[in-house]
A and B are shown apart, each in its own frame.
Chain A
Amino acid sequence: MCRFRRPIASQYTDADLQTREGQLGVFSLRGHARVSRSRASRIRGRMALGSDCGLGSAPAATLQPLNVLGQSDLFGNYDTQPVAGDETRIQGDNPEEVDRFISSSGAAVALKRKAALNEPAGPLYAQGHSTSTSWKDDDFYGININALLDKIEAQAHDNDATGGDEEEEQGDGGLHKGEPQAQKLWVEKWRPKSFVDLIGNEKSDRILLAWLRQWSFAAFKEEPPNPPKAEDSNDDKSVRDIDPYQRPYKRILLIHGPPGIGKTSVAHILAKHAGFAVSEINASDERAGPLVKQKVQNTLFNHTFNDRPVCLVADEIDGSIESGFVKVLLDILYQDGKATNQARYRNMQSTFSKKKKNKKTSKVLLRPIVAICNNLYAPALEKLRPHCQIISFKRPADSALQERLQHICKSERLLISKKVVNNLIDLSQGDVRNCINNLQFLSKQKYSDESILSVKSNEEIEGIGSNQKDTSMSWFKVVNDIFKKDNNREVREQFYEVLKNVEMNGNYDRIVQGCFALYPTVKYSDNGVKKPASITDWLYFQDLMHKSLYTHNGELLRYCPTVPLSFFHHFGDVANKTDQRIKNPEYEQREILKQNSDIVSSIQDGVSSVAPKRSTFLNQKTLVNDILPFLDHMLSVDVLKVKDNKMKVLLIDRMLAILEAFQLSINQMENELTDSRPILTIDPPIDKIVVFDSKKIKEIVTKRPHVLNLLFAKSEENKVKKRHIDKVTKEKAALEDNKYKNKKARTFGSNSVDFFKKQYESINLSSQSETGNSSAKHVNNNFTPGDTTPTPKDSVRIWVRYKSGFSNAVRKNVSWDALWQ
């Protein structure tokens, strides 16, 4: 944009300019309330120096003379005098509000600016932000995040130091002045900072803390204060003992639960308590590719400048793609497993020394990793789950939540009745973050001159979620009003009022959903079920109209208000006087559905990874409708009651075969029903999908674990047998191979390299026959750390070095067919 410089002095008088400047100044500041001074002044500058921008504020009706217009910056025919005036103006932190200009005639002009209104700094701006022009400080480009973070830290320190009173004062003071100053979000302000602030899930918190403490040997090189609890590791204590760093058996902790109940906060607090510094990776960070690998490696394996070791918190992990972050974690675990084995090895056999250092040293994992997710059965977590210890977080109890909310309200000087708090908790379905947000929202509605806010009635609550216009009501209220009928007023009038309310609200889908949820519980008169039968036609109408949102640009939505009217017509009754709470099971149902379909797809994936041949005949429909229910029946056979031993064996074999065919494993999982101790269940839990009968569900908890125990024992037995058999067959094969190789060696003549190779193989054979460990076929083709039995002490290593270019190093017959497959 060309900047035209007018000879200001020649055109206008000073007084004129003053007002014009002042007006422009005011305009710019008013129009762009949050814009920094620098930008405003630049705009002003442009507007002043440019020709009429049509802003209409100035009385400048006269056109500029042509000779003036020709002068523009682009061609550089302007005064060589530096634009000092402008500069001072732009950079001016000029307290006197007097600006200096240099007009084109060279004279210096001083203009006094009219006092502008104070910029109402938004809550995100602290006072006194910098007004320099460098682009980094220009808020147009964004907030200087580092400065803000520093400020937050400083504030947090202050708060910590002086305790709660100051918070109250601050809160008080903020409200007193009537303007929202640098107010923090209450969610951030009231984030729990210590163990005692946490609500709900006490048991899970303790488990988490215990798990973290177990890392103290690895991280701090000190003994853990308490012996490890029994519930943490159910199997091989022996393995744990051998672990040279005394870490827990499962190296990653996975916390899962609904949103907003405190999972991330807990992880941070407990990590701090246990003495770690927390490094967080969440969904907003780059979580794919080499970047994240670098970052994770840095946090876990390098020393930091903090005094404390680092604990890695991986938040929102179910959103990451499988090949990204999850793979990095798996790699780390794998390396750790290898390194642990080496370390264990080293412990047993201190005389062993490595001649050659491998390029890639496997690193032992010495820092804890905590992962947080919402959906435990998300596909991204499939591979990670077996290596994690899983803790589930539930919604906090209403009473604890209430207490906390009351405490917050007291501190923020918000008077609120218990009933309203209860309503709030219901609305948000136990989500603490949501509650606190809503409270803050409520309080913000009226920051008038009152120093004390009071939320007396339910209406305030219902204002949440809708526009805060005075004329509209929340959908909550609208729905309840639909079912009320007043005999004193004319029906037509009421009709019209309901229509008005509905249209004003505009949230047709929610309203109809609410009506649908509520109508069975309101009082109305009916002949049998006639009215529900007839209302269903209207519901169909609503469904179709709503669907037009996707197909016809929502043009048919304008007909939706008629549906609530029909509800009024059918179900409105004088007897409905009180407002009822509307429960919406849709959300929960969707969550459960998602979880179940994830389970089904994980089963399908499991089968396809092992036997793709079979998996082509499976799809979700056949699995859910046909196969899984019968599978469940088959696995619920009560084998213990069978008397005939042969039959028993047969049945058990059958069941084991089925388990393997569908890649189901038997694990210890904690049970939601009993909530006491973990029991054996099938993983992935097919019973969750197919079993409806409540009696059967109880049976799963009580009777089945016995059967599963038996199966588990048998399967372990089979595994050992298999290993043995494999070992023997491998021996045989190796012997035969050896014979063949010997024959070959004889026919080809002894080559120096071949000679060594032969020796290597024969020695290796003898060592292998003692171990047979590599044949422990992992059932899931997953790496399970700690599963490999320790290699024996005296396996000899032979290193054969080949000169590069020597092509008979490895000789393998490749058939023509193999090339084309």
Chain B
Amino acid sequence: MFEGFSSNKRRKVDNTESKEENKPWVEKYRPKNLDEVTAQDHAVNVLKKTLKSADLPHMLFYGPPGTGKTSTILALTKELFGPELTKSRVLELNASDERGISIVREKVKNFARLTVSKPSKNDLEKYPCPPFKIIILDEADSMTADAQSALRRTMETYSSVTRFCLICNYITRIIDPLASRCSKFRFKSLDESNAMDRLQYVAKQESVICEDGALEKILIVSSGDLRKAITLLQSSSKLRNYTGTDKVTSKQVEELAGRVPNDILGELVEKIASKDLDAIIAYVNNFAKSGWSGVSVISQLHDYYIMSDNFDTAFKNRISLILFDTDAKLTNGTNEHLQLLNLVVQISNI
């Protein structure tokens, strides 16, 4: 019975090491202060100014995913309060927490009402601890309208001691009264150069060798979403261990991102151009069996037809209508095979 114990000595439970390695790179390389946040100069400058003056408005960050909204506000709180004070001064509620109207009425209100704790001398020296608390409501667009309404008065009443920061993707989902109480910061999606710098930095830190053009491919595929780009980099670097290559190739990147490889796309386009209905149907049946995601097929077809110069405007006009239609239907949760078939046949019919 004691046999099990002795082998324990041989066992190493790598606590500290595994902590670091286990973390996704997105978390590891999240900006820790405002300076590290790339490409959102407008927002970052304003916030830096407020750091000095310690006068913060209610904030509303909006923009496409992966552009640094959550990172910015977290970095801001770190810079304002320092690690110890943050626990008592900052409340973060995101979509994984219960955020119904009753929680808003109780939890949020109670936190907002508390008087601000006095920071210790140590903290005062290092950080500009301004005399208010911050409530971060991440993914605010998934809060119901009722919960949002319950928030408005709370925001006003306790604005002297609490500041709110709402983060969302679609500003239309925030009700107007709330949006009017906040100052809006638009986070635009990253353009190539900024993102490239960051990506190269991460690659260097993790010692990942990339083929030429692989990083560019990553950026194209993730279309402005830095989080997606870093995750893609992480997954492809893992993959190279098995495939035996040292480098990350753009082909791997494509496969991981779920994009249809160019040659298969080429075949599809050929069949469309042939206008042979039966052949198209048979080909699409096969295609559907491979399981490519409909959304990525549409976006790639879009790139192919609309971006290229081989087709005339009228044609592009009609194609874009069809593409838009199918995309809308797919987001509504319809049968992918059927919609894809319809799309392809309609295009061939133009």
* 7 residue pairs bridging A and B, Cβ less than 8 Å apart: A814-B1, A815-B1, A816-B1, A816-B3, A816-B4, A816-B5, A817-B4
B contacts with A, residue count (CB < 8 A): 4
Q: Report the bound CA distance from A781 to B5 in whole Å.
A: 38
For the complex, give the distance between the alpha carbons of A274 and B3 in Å. 70
Within 8 A of A (CB), among B1-58: 1, 3-5
Which residue of chain B lies nearest to A813 when distances are taken between CB atoms in the complex? B1
Which chain B residues border A816 with CB–CB below 8 Å? 1, 3-5
Taking CB atoms, residues of chain B closer than 8 Å to A817 are: 4
CA separation between A816 and B4, bound complex, in Å? 7
Top 7 nearest A-B pairs (CB, nearest first) are A816-B4, A816-B1, A815-B1, A817-B4, A816-B3, A814-B1, A816-B5
**In whole angstroms, what is the CA distance A269 to B330 when docked?**
60
A residues near B4, Cβ cutoff 8 Å: 816-817
Question: In the assembled complex, how far is the CB of residue A451 from the closest CB belonging to chain B, in whole angstroms?
Answer: 57
Give the CA-CA distance A815 to B5 in the complex, in Å. Answer: 12
Q: How far is the CA of A814 from the CA of B5 in the complex (A)?
A: 15
* Interchain CA distance A816-B6 in the complex, whole Å: 12
Provide the main secondary structure of the chain B interface: helix
Residues of A within 8 A of B1 (CB): 814-816
> Chain A residues in contact with chain B, CB under 8 A?
814-817
Instruction: Kindly provide the distance from the CB of B146 to the nearest chain A CB, expressed in whole angstroms.
Output: 11
Q: What are the residues of chain B within 8 A of A815 when measuring CB–CB?
A: 1
Give B333 Cβ to nearest chain A Cβ, in Å.
Answer: 14
Cα separation A11 to B3 with both chains bound (whole Å):
101
Measured CB to CB, the nearest residue on chain B to A814 is B1
Residue of B nearest to A817 (CB): B4
Across the interface, name the chain A residue whose C-beta is closest to B3: A816
- A816 and B1 CA atoms in complex are apart in Å by 6
Complex Cα spacing A537 to B1, Å = 74
- Residues on B lying within 8 angstroms of A by beta carbon are 1, 3-5
Residues of B within 8 A of A814 (CB): 1
A13→B104 CA distance, assembly (Å): 59
Chain A neighbourhood of B3, CB < 8 A:
816
Report how far A817 CA is from B1 CA in the complex, Å.
9
State the Cβ distance, B175 to closest chain A Cβ, in Å. 14
Q: How far is the CA of A815 from the CA of B3 in the complex (A)?
A: 10
Chain A: CB-nearest residue to B5: A816
CA A815 – CA B1 in complex, angstroms? 6
Report the bound CA distance from A807 to B323 in whole Å.
79
Q: How far is the CA of A817 from the CA of B5 in the complex (A)?
A: 11
Q: B5 contacts which chain A residues (CB < 8 A)?
A: 816
What's the least CB distance linking A8 to chain B, in Å? 49
- Cα–Cα distance between A15 and B5 once the two chains are bound (Å): 102
In the assembled complex, the CB of B8 is this many whole angstroms from the nearest CB of chain A, namely 11
Closest to A816 in B: B4
Closest chain A CB from B102 CB (angstroms):
19
The smallest beta-carbon distance between A588 and chain B, in angstroms, is: 28
The distance in angstroms between the C-alpha atoms of A817 and B3, with both chains bound, is: 11
> Which of B1, B3, B5 gathers most chain A CB within 10 Å?
B1
Of B3, B4, B5, most A-chain CB atoms within 10 Å: B4
How far is the CB of B172 from the nearest CB of chain A, in Å? 16
Closest to B2 in A: A816
In the assembled complex, the CB of A580 is this many whole angstroms from the nearest CB of chain B, namely 37
Least Cβ–Cβ distance between B6 and chain A, in angstroms: 11
Q: For the complex, what is the distance from the CA of A512 to the CA of B1, rounded to whole Å?
A: 75
Q: B124 → chain A, closest Cβ, in Å?
A: 50
Measured in the bound complex, the distance between the Cα atoms of B287 and A670 in whole Å is 50
Q: What's the nearest-Cβ distance from chain B to residue A796, in Å?
A: 37
CA distance A814 to B4 in the complex (A): 13
Q: Complex Cα distance A447/B261, Å? A: 81
Q: How far is the CB of B244 from chain A (nearest CB, A)?
A: 34
CA distance A816 to B3 in the complex (A): 9
Q: How far is the CA of A49 from the CA of B4 in the complex (A)?
A: 87
Minimal Cβ-Cβ distance residue in B for A820 = B4
Bound together, the chains give a CA A63 to CA B5 distance in angstroms of 92
CB distance from A578 to the nearest CB of B (A): 43
Q: In the complex, A486 Cα to B172 Cα: how many Å? A: 50
Distance from B143 Cβ to chain A, minimum over Cβ atoms (Å)? 16
A814 CA / B3 CA spacing, docked (Å): 13
- The distance in angstroms between the C-alpha atoms of A816 and B8, with both chains bound, is 13
A814 to B1, CA, bound (A): 8
Quote the shortest CB–CB distance from B1 to chain A (angstroms): 6
Chain B: which residue is nearest A815 at the CB level? Answer: B1
- Residue from the set A814, A816, A817 with the largest chain B CB neighbour count within 10 Å: A816
Q: How far is the CA of A149 from the CA of B315 in the complex (A)?
A: 82
Minimum Cβ distance to chain A for residue B116 (Å): 40
Q: How far is the CB of B90 from chain A (nearest CB, A)?
A: 34
Q: How far is the CA of A8 from the CA of B1 in the complex (A)?
A: 95
Q: What is the CA–CA distance of A816 and B5 in the complex, to the nearest angstrom? A: 9
Give bound CA distance, A814 to B2, whole Å. 11
Q: How far is the CB of B199 from chain A (nearest CB, A)?
A: 39
B140 CB to closest chain A CB (Å) equals 20
Q: Closest Cβ of chain B: how far from A60's Cβ, in Å?
A: 42
Complex Cα–Cα for A737 and B3 (A): 25
Nearest Cβ on chain B to A517's Cβ, whole angstroms? 27
- CA–CA, A695 to B249, complex, Å? 61
CA distance A264 to B1 in the complex (A): 62
Minimum CB–CB distance for B335 against chain A, Å: 14
- A815 and B2 alpha carbons, distance in the complex (Å): 9
Shortest Cβ distance from B204 into chain A, in angstroms?
43
A244 to B297 CA separation, bound complex (whole angstroms): 75
CB distance from B334 to the nearest CB of A (A): 14
Task: Report Cα–Cα, A343/B324, bound state, in Å.
Answer: 78
| Shortest distance from the beta carbon of A551 to any chain B beta carbon, whole Å | 11
User: How far is B4's CA from A285's CA once the two chains are assembled, in angstroms?
Assistant: 55
Q: In the complex, what's the smallest C-beta–C-beta distance from A405 to chain B, in angstroms?
A: 49
* A34–B3 alpha-carbon span in the complex (Å): 83
